[in-house]
Structure 1
Amino acid sequence: MKYKYNMCLCFLVLTLGSISQNANSPKPTDTPILNKPSIVSTHPYGIFFSRWQGNFQTKPLGTYSFNITLESGNVWSPPVTAYIPNNENDRAFVSQFPWHAREFRIDVNSLDAKTLEVQNDGVIKGLRLNFNLPINSKSELKIGLRSFVLTRGTFPFSIITSDDTIEYFHKHIAGGEDPFDRQLYPLNEALIRYKDRNDRVMTIENGDFILSGFELSYYRYPVRFLNGFDFNYGAHMGINTSKFNRSLDIGASANVMKLFSLKNDNTLSAGLSLGGTKNNLIDFSEDNMDFNNNTFIGYLETLVEYSFLSKNKRTRHSFGADFYIQTSLNKKSEFDYLIPTKNGTSLKSWNSGTSNLYRNNNYWTLMYTFARKIATTFYIQQDLTVNNNPDIQTGISLSFNL
């Protein structure tokens, strides 16, 4: 399967190279978009369902266009088991104590409870393809595909996102010696194991390929309003196709942008996006994993970008900073009586795999784009709150007209 995935990548790169020779894109100054690739994180469970992001365009692109994004994200959390009491009296009893002390106040071996088991380790490589289909002067359709493969993150394929690089950064720059007990376990391994509250088990190992799903987004661009602000709204549908989740998601989003013109064709742009997803509106399988019992996932995204033309007026350079926050995968009220249990090895981050499922996800993304006939974007992403998103994620995105 890994061989087939690599062959697909080679084919796409070769195809992209041939298309780029004949790409007939608009001038950089005419591009009605804040240059942003897909910045949705390679969360080890979030990759199995649809999550939306901001569409910071001022108008439809007006042409058939294609975007390919390759991403790499390091995920890690030690093995942990958590218990969810079924009995209301047991819930009320354990909720009196701090979450880290609950396992010592009740016998979990005889407890009537459901369990969650979590273990994440590896570098998730993602491939996202998006095709833009213009409809008219006020609307367009975007069709997307997302796929992933789990790897060990070894050199030279994961220079920035490998375990070795992250631990070197912690030791020599920030965090100190082994701040999360990562080095108590083998480095550069690849295993994601998850047992949901219905006792269904998912195991993903090195080289396993996942065709996660397809996405369809319709965007409408009304007239400009409020002294130069641009607005668009989107309706979304996602079809999840992996063997762990075959289902239909729907969503909606609203996006507002403001562009400030500066000297010499330089610009400063800002965008704000708000949206949400209803996961598993329709289940196509009775064996779907329960990745989130909070089936409505909302997000808020902000982006600021500075852009300028090169001296020859043929290339546009852009620098952007993006902040994305998403609501928790599991209902926060459930954490009031959740009973995480120590795994006996990790002391600093032993609970993170389960407890972080009850926290909002958020991360910063820094981007650089140079656009001529093809817009090429590089980005680096950091999960500053360490909540099951990749410790660090990188990506490269190519956009061009057909």
Structure 2
Amino acid sequence: MLKNIILIITCGFCFILSAQQQDSISFKNGIEKPNILSTHHFGIFSARINTNFKIVSQKNTTIEFNSASGNNFHPFVETYIPKDPEVQKEQSKLIWYHRNFHFENQETTPADYMNIVIDAVIKEFRLGINFSLAKKHDLNVSLRSCLITKGKHPFSPFTSDESIEWFHSNIAGGEDPYGRRYYGLNQVNFKYQDRYGNTLELYNNDFFLSGIEFNHHYYPTFSKLNAKNIYLNFGSHLGINTSKYNSSLDFGLSANAVKKIAFKNNYEFNAGVGINVLRKNLINFKDVVDLGNNPYLGTVEADLQISKYTKKKNYNAFSVNYQIQSSYNQQKEADYYRLIGKWQEINAGWHNGFSTLYTKLSFWTFIYTYGRPNFTMSLYFKEDLYVNNAPDFQTGINFKVPIFK
């Protein structure tokens, strides 16, 4: 599936490069997009990197507010990971749900043990400021926080358990396909024990500041590329995580490219491709919960945006964004782990709490943006088409206002 998606995006990109270009009236800086990072139950504790598809450095100082709401659901599941290489080799010959590893005696069959249960609507709030550092450099400083909720109406109209299960029952998915109704709607059950015995536990209405991020971008000049309306930017990213579960420092790098085309009748098209890598927990300030033993999170992202300008030079823009991120845990462990859960009591997905930590996460995001010189608003919804509930469905809104010119 991923190869087909990449092929479609590549073909579309090549077709657009050959399209007839017109003079642009754009005051929009490349692809305007909100922060669309997922409300993943591990990801909210780390910095991660929101891809930047601007084409030039920030001219005006702006403030922005970003709010996201995502429904995360994983029934209780336990994991045993044998430490003996011979046992690992033996178990790797069996498909994961047929593995017969015996773990009763840690002395004779040593193994790492973990368990997890996640049931909550996670709301993330970001307050940021963007300003110019120099002609080709800008900086974003963002403060992020999280609220753990039951997701009851009217505060989570699209991401509540009722909304998602109504969709499953009446449109697609079938009746209670993942056990939300079985375990009870509108509940918070958020607990994780890592392989070292550390526990992360959150309750309804828990609110915490999860970190502050510094995102620097450099916009070099490449005459031949810029003449074809192709622009590159490179980013360096520093995140200071402040929650009691992951007091640490993250560092990352990013590279992004944007192709801009102006068409007749005040239409503008932008296509962006970006790649980034984040080194999680480069420095731990104190003992932390193990939120995945893969030290690096890598992300590839593509975005296609079409914009229509009005006579007053306001614009309406629609984007389709595809994002794929590397796994939180090292994938080799999936060759020999054993998962234990209540698989007989729900239809599917009982193992997702751990199995999805060993797989790549991918999302499609659909974004609408309204912009004018002194105000920008974006709305989006984000869908996990692999249905690994990390989160299942997410919505968000962003406001951006210049404060200095």
Normalising by structure 1, we get a TM-score of: 0.90
Would the aligned equivalents of 1:64 and 1:134 in 2 still touch at CA under 8 Å? yes
1:169 paired residue number: 167
Name the CA distance, whole Å, in 2 between partners of 1:94 and 1:318. Answer: 51
Which one-letter code corresponds to 2:317 in the other structure? S
Bigger mean CA deviation after superposition, 323-332 or 336-345: 336-345
1:55 paired residue number: 52
Name the CA distance, whole Å, in 1 between partners of 2:211 and 2:196. Answer: 23
1:226-249 CA-partner distances (Å, limit 9, x unpaired) = 332100000111111000001111
2:364 paired residue number: 364
Bigger mean CA deviation after superposition, 244-253 or 92-101: 92-101
Q: Once superposed, which parts of structure 1, at least 4 consecutive aligned residues long, lie more than 6 Å away? A: none
Which one-letter code corresponds to 1:238 in the other structure? G
Using the TM superposition, give the Cα deviation of residue 342 of structure 1 relative to its aligned residue in structure 2, in angstroms.
2.4
Give yes or no for the alignment of 1:109 onto 2:104: yes
Name the CA distance, whole Å, in 2 between partners of 1:169 and 1:223. Answer: 48
2:265 paired residue number: 264
1:280-312 CA-partner distances (Å, limit 9, x unpaired) = 111100x200001001110001000000112x3
1:182 paired residue number: 180
1:201 paired residue number: 199
Using the TM superposition, give the Cα deviation of residue 66 of structure 1 relative to its aligned residue in structure 2, in angstroms.
1.1
Name the CA distance, whole Å, in 2 between partners of 1:138 and 1:170. Answer: 48
2:8 paired residue number: none
Specify the SS of the correspondent of 2:178: coil
Which one-letter code corresponds to 1:257 in the other structure? V
Which one-letter code corresponds to 1:113 in the other structure? A
Instruction: Pick one of 99, 123, 126 that aligns with 1:125.
Output: 123
After superposition, the CA RMSD in angstroms is 1.4
Would the aligned equivalents of 1:359 and 1:387 in 2 still touch at CA under 8 Å? no
2:280 paired residue number: 279
Which one-letter code corresponds to 1:333 in the other structure? K
Q: How does 1:151-162 map to 2 (within 5 A)?
A: 151-162=149-160
1:234 paired residue number: 235
2:62 paired residue number: 65
The runs of 5 or more residues in structure 1 that have no matched partner are 1-27
Name the CA distance, whole Å, in 2 between partners of 1:353 and 1:58. Answer: 39
Name the CA distance, whole Å, in 2 between partners of 1:38 and 1:131. Answer: 13
Would the aligned equivalents of 2:362 and 2:386 in 1 still touch at CA under 8 Å? yes
Would the aligned equivalents of 2:30 and 2:260 in 1 still touch at CA under 8 Å? no
Name the CA distance, whole Å, in 1 between partners of 2:50 and 2:388. Answer: 19
Using the TM superposition, give the Cα deviation of residue 144 of structure 1 relative to its aligned residue in structure 2, in angstroms.
1.0
1:6 paired residue number: none
1:11 paired residue number: none
Name the CA distance, whole Å, in 2 between partners of 1:229 and 1:382. Answer: 29
1:312-338 CA-partner distances (Å, limit 9, x unpaired) = 324210011111110000000011111
Aligned residues: 372
Would the aligned equivalents of 2:316 and 2:371 in 1 still touch at CA under 8 Å? yes
Using the TM superposition, give the Cα deviation of residue 184 of structure 1 relative to its aligned residue in structure 2, in angstroms.
1.2
Specify the SS of the correspondent of 2:176: coil
1:399 paired residue number: 400
Using the TM superposition, give the Cα deviation of residue 347 of structure 1 relative to its aligned residue in structure 2, in angstroms.
4.8
Give yes or no for the alignment of 1:87 onto 2:84: yes
Would the aligned equivalents of 1:99 and 1:339 in 2 still touch at CA under 8 Å? yes
Would the aligned equivalents of 1:53 and 1:301 in 2 still touch at CA under 8 Å? no
Would the aligned equivalents of 2:177 and 2:346 in 1 still touch at CA under 8 Å? no
Give yes or no for the alignment of 1:31 onto 2:32: no
Would the aligned equivalents of 1:44 and 1:388 in 2 still touch at CA under 8 Å? no
Give yes or no for the alignment of 1:334 onto 2:333: yes
Using the TM superposition, give the Cα deviation of residue 349 of structure 1 relative to its aligned residue in structure 2, in angstroms.
1.6
Which one-letter code corresponds to 2:167 in the other structure? F
Using the TM superposition, give the Cα deviation of residue 371 of structure 1 relative to its aligned residue in structure 2, in angstroms.
1.0
Would the aligned equivalents of 1:78 and 1:346 in 2 still touch at CA under 8 Å? no
2:298 paired residue number: 298
Name the CA distance, whole Å, in 1 between partners of 2:238 and 2:384. Answer: 27
The runs of 5 or more residues in structure 2 that have no matched partner are 1-24
1:184-227 CA-partner distances (Å, limit 9, x unpaired) = 10111012110001010111110111211111111110114433
1:374 paired residue number: 375
Give yes or no for the alignment of 1:345 onto 2:345: yes
Normalising by structure 2, we get a TM-score of: 0.89
Specify the SS of the correspondent of 2:242: strand
Which one-letter code corresponds to 1:160 in the other structure? F
Using the TM superposition, give the Cα deviation of residue 401 of structure 1 relative to its aligned residue in structure 2, in angstroms.
0.5
Which one-letter code corresponds to 1:106 in the other structure? F
Specify the SS of the correspondent of 1:193: strand
